[in-house]
Structure 1
Amino acid sequence: MTSDALEDARSMGRRLGLDLIRNISPTGPSFSLRRATVVSIDLTSGGYTADLTVGGGTLHAIPITVDCLGCGPGDRVIVETYGTQSFVTGVLARPGAGASMQHAKFRFQDTNSFKGDAYGGANEIIVNRGARLLHVNLSGFQSTVNLSAGFPVWLYSSGPKPSRKISLGCVGAVVSGNWGKQADWNTDGSITLLGGLGSSDRVICQRFSMPIPDGVEFT
Structure 2
Amino acid sequence: MTTLQPHQFTCPFCGNKFESQMVASTNSFGRLHSDLYKEAEGLQPVCYFVHTCASCGYTGYEGDFQPQSFTPVFKGMLEENITPEIKKVRIGTNGNYYLAALCAEWRGAPFAVLARIYHMGAWCCRIKGEKDNERFYLEKAMFYFERALEQADAPNENKAVYTYLIGDIARRLGDAEKAKSYYGKVEQALKECGGEPGIGDFARRQLTSPSDYF
Q: TM-score range by the shorter chain?
A: under 0.3
TM-score between the two structures when normalised by the length of structure 1 = 0.25
* Richer in strand (by share): 1
Flag the structure with higher helix content. 2
